[in-house]
Amino acid sequence: MIKNIYNLGDAALYCDFGDTVNKETNLRVINYFNDIREKNIIGIKNIAPSYNKLIIYFDLELTNYKKIKDIVQNLDISTFEAAKTKLVKIPVCFDDEFALDLERVEKKTGLTKKEIINQLVAQKYFCYMTGFIAGMPFLGDIKEKIRLDRLETPRVKVPKGSVGITEQFCNIYTFESPGGWNIIGNSPKKVFTKDPTKLTLIDPGDEVEFFEISKKEYSKFNEQK
Amino acid sequence: MSKNSFKVLRPGINTTFQDLGRDNLYHVGLPFSGAIDKRNFLIANSLITNREDDAVLEFAYQGPLLEFSGSQTSIVITGNVNFKIIKKDASEIKGECYRTYNLNNKDCLDIISTEKSVYGYLTVKGGFQINKFCNSYSTTVRAEVGPNDGKKIEIGQTIILNDVDSAIEKSLEYLNSKIEFIRVIKGTNFDYFSEDSIKDFTSKDFIVSKLTDRMGMRLSGPKIKNLKKTNIKSEGLGKGVIQVPADGDPIVMLSDHGTIGGYPKIAVVISADYDKLAQCPPGEKIKFKIVNLKEAENLYKIYTMETKNIINKIR
């Protein structure tokens, strides 16, 4: 369960679930997140789940660190539920126009373009968290053969829709943003919508599968515009 | 009859609709956003007798030039702002912050610039005719959400105002004060940094760099040396969190920050001092001072009490 609780500044509770990043730890984080949200605890304004941490922001005018800590420590989340998940299929075009770092990935992994694509589309991924920019999913774990470090110098602007890999993870840049992941393709699928009832296509705990599309098929989707 | 409106003749550098912020969406990657300077936001709405959480136009550095059309309205500007009203007959009135002005058909409001600060606020009696997104009037430009399609105000557009029955007259004597230190609480990775660097962090001057916007504020000064590791597992961030990347220059997260980050957190700015830090323009020197949680909580109580006292002085 929660290994340690600290304060992050004067208006947030920082819950540490341990050092390892794996599905099991992350599902615990998601369980706590769902439970705390459902309870509508007075003063809690925002909750940020990540791989192995949960940060709870509260309104200092209504409550304080000690009160929220007492509540969170005494939550009974021993019954461990598997998150309600769905499978999301994401089309990706790997055309050279979009695969900005393909050469680098080929060099570092010793694989051909075809092999890299096959490795990426061969399996389902688990969504650990969404964020950094709105709706961006952090997915894992990618095959060991295509794991590599971030770019030495991050890009100032990664194009919207870019599909990137680094370490054990892959992601989709839902908006144009600075970023250092290795970009190997682009998806026309809208992963963050403006529909308040369903803002994100992919949520923590979901499964994601990529499938390859041609450039022609890409322009037919036309969703990124 | 046509509605009261502003025509945007010049949009300004970063003019957006904001309110007290948007809750409960960190987990999808949307920060609180909202007015950066909460106190000046609250004063603006109180002066114009709108609801506490009504939308305002926030501007940074250079503000907008707006032409009013309609019968009549009242406006207020808060912050440290140089502005003027150009009447229909071309006569000019030098503007003072913290008092209402009445605008008549074809009067222009020229918000020239903020002074020794970054953000200023414009409120209009009755508010703007805009839509909420997820229960809030706050704009997050990077994610394209909020009123005005999540965009900054653009040249040539028309901003529709809600109808008002009568003009008002209100004023307040208030001066934005500076503080000697920005007070912080130790961050969750405080012990990653060398003893000398901690000494530097709490004694030397840091300068606000030009790489500063609503997302974050980059500081320059003594390099903060990390002894442990320069990357942590990506995790949540909040406004006021100070991260130190490998280059040793601290970054303070501001209201539109990315919701997840992987740099160690050396400290967090206390809630009571956030407004004042965020109002420091590039080039300004700041000093940090560490306080404990209890002190920070008390300082926030004092901050909210002071804000209430200021608002009670409105005449």
Residue A36, domain member (yes or no): yes
Residue A79, domain member (yes or no): no
Based on the fold, state whether residues A47 and A117 are members of the same structural domain: no
First-to-last alpha carbon distance for chain B, in angstroms, is 33
Amino acid at A196: P
Query: What would be the CATH architecture of the domain defined by B182-312?
Result: Beta Barrel (2.40)
Separation CA A85–CA A83 (nearest Å):
6
Separation CA B5–CA B126 (nearest Å):
12
Tell me the CATH number at A60.
Answer: 3.30.1360.40
Residue A81, domain member (yes or no): no
Based on the fold, state whether residues A43 and A139 are members of the same structural domain: no
Separation CA B297–CA A10 (nearest Å):
7
**In this complex, is the C-beta atom of B193 within 8 Å of any C-beta atom belonging to chain A?**
no
pLDDT of residue B109: 98
Query: What would be the CATH architecture of the domain defined by B5-160?
Result: Sandwich (2.60)
Question: What are residue A173's phi and psi, to 5 degrees?
Answer: -75, 105
**Interchain pair A46, B32: CB under 8 A:** yes
Based on the fold, state whether residues A66 and A156 are members of the same structural domain: no
- H/E/C letters for each residue in chain A? CCCEEEECCCCEEEEECCCCCCHHHHHHHHHHHHHHHHHCCCCEEEEEECCCEEEEEECCCCCCHHHHHHHHHCCCCCCCCCCCCCEEEEEEECCCCCCCCHHHHHHHHCCCHHHHHHHHHCCEEEEEEECCCCCCEEEECCCHHHCCCCCCCCEEEECCCEEEEECCEEEECCCCEEECCEEEEECCCCCECCCCCCCECCCCCCEEEEEEECHHHHHHHCCCC
Separation CA B90–CA A13 (nearest Å):
56
Tell the residue number behind the tokens 């992919």, with chain if given. Answer: A202
> Which pLDDT tens digits describe chain A residue by residue (225 residues)?
899 999 999 999 999 999 988 889 999 999 999 999 999 999 999 999 999 999 999 999 999 999 999 999 999 876 666 667 899 999 999 999 999 999 999 999 999 999 999 999 999 999 999 999 999 999 999 999 999 988 888 888 999 999 999 999 999 999 999 888 999 999 999 999 988 889 999 999 899 999 999 999 998 886 654
Based on the fold, state whether residues A109 and A215 are members of the same structural domain: yes
Q: Which of B211, B228, B260 to mutate to test the interface with A (most CBs of A within 10 A)?
A: B260
Taking only the tens place, the pLDDT of each residue in B154-167 is: 999 999 999 887 88
Length of chain B: 315
HSE-up of B55 (CA within 13 Å, CB side)? 25
Nearest to A60 among B24, B187, B300 (CB): B300
For residue B77, what is the enclosing H or E element?
strand B72-78
* Residue B1, pLDDT above cutoff 70: no
Residue B41 DSSP code: H
Burial (CB < 10 A; 0-12, 13-18, 19+), residue A62, is exposed
Tell the residue number behind the tokens 């774990």, with chain if given. Answer: A141
Residue A78, domain member (yes or no): no
How many domains, chain A? Answer: 2
Amino acid at A194: K
Based on the fold, state whether residues A48 and A94 are members of the same structural domain: no
What is the location of CATH 2.60.120 in chain B? 5-160
* Residue B48, pLDDT above cutoff 60: yes
Single out the residue in A47, A73, A99 at which a domain terminates: A73
The ipTM, to two decimals, is: 0.95
Single out the residue in A73, A95, A110 at which a domain terminates: A73
Nearest to B233 among A33, A51, A55 (CB): A51
pLDDT of residue A225: 47
pLDDT of residue A154: 81
Among chain B residues, the shortest Cα distance to A38 is held by: B24
pLDDT of residue B186: 98
Closest CA to A96 of A106, A86, A85, A87: A106
Q: Cα separations (Å) of B10 from B78, B84, B122?
A: 19, 14, 15
Residue A80, domain member (yes or no): no
Based on the fold, state whether residues A112 and A216 are members of the same structural domain: yes
Tell me the CATH number at A212.
Answer: 2.40.100.10
Closest CA to B137 of B50, B49, B60, B254: B50
**Segments forming the whole domain that contains residue A146:** 87-221
What is the location of CATH 2.40.100.10 in chain B? 182-312
Question: What are residue B241's phi and psi, to 5 degrees?
Answer: -70, 135
Which residues in chain B have Cβ-Cβ distances shorter than 8 Å to A171? none
Based on the fold, state whether residues A213 and A112 are members of the same structural domain: yes
**Interchain pair A10, B268: CB under 8 A:** yes
Instruction: Give the residue with greater pLDDT, B23 vs B229.
Output: B23
Which residues in chain B have Cβ-Cβ distances shorter than 8 Å to A174? 29
Based on the fold, state whether residues A59 and A92 are members of the same structural domain: no
Q: Which two tokens stand for residue B106?
A: 């074809």
**Interchain pair B28, A46: CB under 8 A:** no
With a CB cutoff of 8 Å and minimum separation 6, the contacts of A165 are: A105, A120, A142, A146, A147, A148, A181, A182, A184
How close, in Å, is residue B270 to chain A by CA atoms? 6
Burial (CB < 10 A; 0-12, 13-18, 19+), residue A2, is middle
Closest CA to A31 of A46, A17, A12: A17
Over the range A133-144, which residues count as b (16 or more CB within 10 Å of their CB) and which as e? Answer: bbbbbbbbbbee
Q: Which two tokens stand for residue A167?
A: 């370490």
